A and B are shown apart, each in its own frame.
Chain A
Amino acid sequence: MSAHPVTLVVFFALFAGVALLGLLGSRWRAADLSQLAEWGLGGRRFGTVITWFLMGGDLYTAYTFIAVPALMFGAGATGFFAIPYATLMYPLLFLFFPRLWSVARRHGYVTAADFVRGRFGNRPLALAVALTGIVATMPYIALQLMGMQVVIAALGLNYTMALPLLGSVSLPLIGAFIVLAAYTYNSGLRGTALVAVVKDMLVYVTVLAAIIIIPSELGGYDKVFASVDPKLLILAHGTANNLGPGFAYVSLCIGSTLALFMYPHAVTGLLSASSRHVVKRNSMILPAYSVALALVALLGYMAIATGVKAMPAYAAGFASFGNNFAVPALFLHMFPAWFVGVAFAAIAIGALVPASMMAIACGNLFSRNIYKDFINPACTPAEESRAAKLTSLAVKLGALIFVLELQSTYAIQLQLLGGIWICQTVPAVMLALYVRLNPWGLLAGWAAGMTAGTYMAWTLGFKGSTYPLHLFGLTIPCYAALSALVLNLLIAGVVSVVASALSVVSADQTVAEDYR
């Protein structure tokens, strides 16, 4: 497996150009990047359009191009849960997050944990939210590294080398990691915002080409669907004592939807908007990305229709990366060499930009809510900013370990694993925008949800995320994020009632007017 030289030239030219733009981006609307709000929030002044590009980075990632089509390719209709997920997040964005923007602006909050500390006056709860954000983001970044790894390997650079401690490591993975680390450390959110615009242009060109050219060469969408095993084309039906894949589908959708805006990088994207109306308008224009996501998901079926899996040219790729190789193989098979370079650059940059945003957001979270609150309260702004940059590096190393340790058939499992954890902050962050439970109740619920969610993921070997619950003789296959969240809310509610009966009170820094 070796790519055409033209592909390599186009890929590296585009990739280098974008990386350079990121470095120049740090000088865009020049500011002092040793200040955390400047490095990490871009100075809180992005309008509707830039916010649209930035938030689009949350949706258009390796998740879109590699993980979802791979699941469709291997498992069929189940993979399409990403589409209702990418639909229902927007009514929630509209209802909840303008309130977060307003209260954050009023009190100068930069992270979700800042809000929790102000809202509940409870340091342990804020620490729990901060730690969860950092831990949950690692597997999500791992998914991006894996996406970059797959396309670099597909360029014909699929070599491995032996390293001390780590054993045999793939060079594409190490390359992906180094590019990400160097890029993020230097540019912060300003660089990322500028590159996000270029990235989306590349991605849109690739999506349009893929959804027009490939189906027409394959003889239309009906031919594509006809090539899929009819058993996989819709969800299997449940039985009298098993709610079946339909329930799992819905639970994956709800769990993912609730999780998305809890991720530190999504909060960063929202809070860097210049007004609450920017957030509201984006809840109506961001779905444009979801439409493209739906079409990209179908690339999995197009890969089935072309029969790339049986072709000797791609055997090595499928052997190394399983179904995650479906889209790169499809592009190599269907596109001319130069456009493969464009498409692969779009995927690699489409993984790089969000991974960098995620790492920056984790850096913010650590420096503000852990370093400054618990380790070095007297730190200077420069020290705080340095702690953020070092954390963003550490988080990427954590992500690298996730990639190495969890070589799953489906890359999407990495994102779903992060979702299990981040979902446990929903009651203390998202729900708290409307309803204020007792902080000790929330902490108890969080602990229960994290334990149960991690236990379920562990029994599935961290390679699955839909855990079969057995209740009243009924088998309920449910995304662990959602079942753990239900437990979390139950415990939080009960403990809150008890705590208020015992008059355990805590200070709320915010008032109703702050949320409007």
Chain B
Amino acid sequence: MDEEKPRRKFHPVYLLLALPFIADLWPPFYNRISPELFGIPFFYWWQTLWIVLAALCILPAYLNEVRRGK
């Protein structure tokens, strides 16, 4: 683990926070109807799914900060 590293050092766990931005800010990828899920076009379920995934992307960074007592 990285407890010995200096406090200001960038931890790779923060890279996860970039994922929601990549997933949500490139419409050429998700601006389509298929594959549908329960009759819901891809455009809609993909972006809705990422609400939950984004929260999960924050969790490791949060746990990391709690562990370091920040």
The reply to whether A291 and B51 contact each other, CB–CB distance below 8 Å, is: yes
The reply to whether A90 and B58 contact each other, CB–CB distance below 8 Å, is: yes
Interface centre among B25, B50, B58, B66 (most CB of A within 10 A): B58
Which A residues touch B24, using CB under 8 A?
84, 87-88, 253
Asked whether any CB of chain B lies closer than 8 Å to the CB of A222, the reply is yes
Task: Name the residue on B nearest A84 (C-beta).
Answer: B24
Contacts from B to A (Cβ < 8 Å) = 17, 20-21, 24-25, 27-28, 31-33, 36, 38-41, 43-44, 47-48, 50-52, 54-55, 57-59, 61-62, 65-66, 70
B20 contacts which of A91, A223, A294 (Cβ < 8 Å)?
A91
The reply to whether B52 and A80 contact each other, CB–CB distance below 8 Å, is: no
The reply to whether A235 and B51 contact each other, CB–CB distance below 8 Å, is: no
Which B residues touch A145, using CB under 8 A?
none
Task: Name the residue on A nearest B14 (C-beta).
Answer: A95
Which B residues touch A294, using CB under 8 A?
44, 47-48, 51
Q: Contacts A220-B39, A225-B39, A294-B47; is A88 near B21 (CB within 8 Å)?
A: yes
Interface centre among B25, B27, B40, B61 (most CB of A within 10 A): B27
The reply to whether A280 and B20 contact each other, CB–CB distance below 8 Å, is: no
Task: Name the residue on A nearest B44 (C-beta).
Answer: A80
The reply to whether B20 and A87 contact each other, CB–CB distance below 8 Å, is: yes
Task: Name the residue on B nearest A293 (C-beta).
Answer: B51
Task: Name the residue on A nearest B59 (C-beta).
Answer: A284
Q: Contacts A234-B43, A250-B27, A291-B48; is A91 near B17 (CB within 8 Å)?
A: yes
Task: Name the residue on A nearest B54 (C-beta).
Answer: A87
A83-B48, A83-B51 known; 15 new pairs, CB 8 Å cut-off, are: A77-B43, A84-B47, A87-B24, A87-B47, A87-B54, A94-B17, A94-B58, A94-B62, A226-B39, A246-B27, A246-B28, A250-B25, A280-B65, A281-B62, A294-B47
Which A residues touch B20, using CB under 8 A?
87-88, 91
Q: Contacts A88-B20, A287-B52; is A249 near B27 (CB within 8 Å)?
A: yes
Number of chain A interface residues as a range: 35 or more
The reply to whether A91 and B51 contact each other, CB–CB distance below 8 Å, is: no
Q: Contacts A86-B51, A91-B17, A294-B47; is A235 near B27 (CB within 8 Å)?
A: yes
Which A residues touch B52, using CB under 8 A?
287, 291
Which A residues touch B31, using CB under 8 A?
77, 234-235, 237, 246
The reply to whether B41 and A233 contact each other, CB–CB distance below 8 Å, is: yes
Asked whether any CB of chain B lies closer than 8 Å to the CB of A298, the reply is yes
Which A residues touch B27, using CB under 8 A?
235, 246, 249-250
Asked whether any CB of chain B lies closer than 8 Å to the CB of A37, the reply is no
Distance (Å) between the CB of A340 and the closest chain B CB? 27
- Complex Cα spacing A87 to B59, Å: 14
Distance (Å) between the CB of A87 and the closest chain B CB? 5
Task: Name the residue on A nearest B19 (C-beta).
Answer: A91
B25 contacts which of A84, A235, A283, A516 (Cβ < 8 Å)?
A84
Asked whether any CB of chain B lies closer than 8 Å to the CB of A290, the reply is yes
5 residue pairs from A and B, CB less than 8 Å apart = A90-B55, A94-B17, A94-B62, A284-B55, A284-B58
Asked whether any CB of chain B lies closer than 8 Å to the CB of A254, the reply is yes
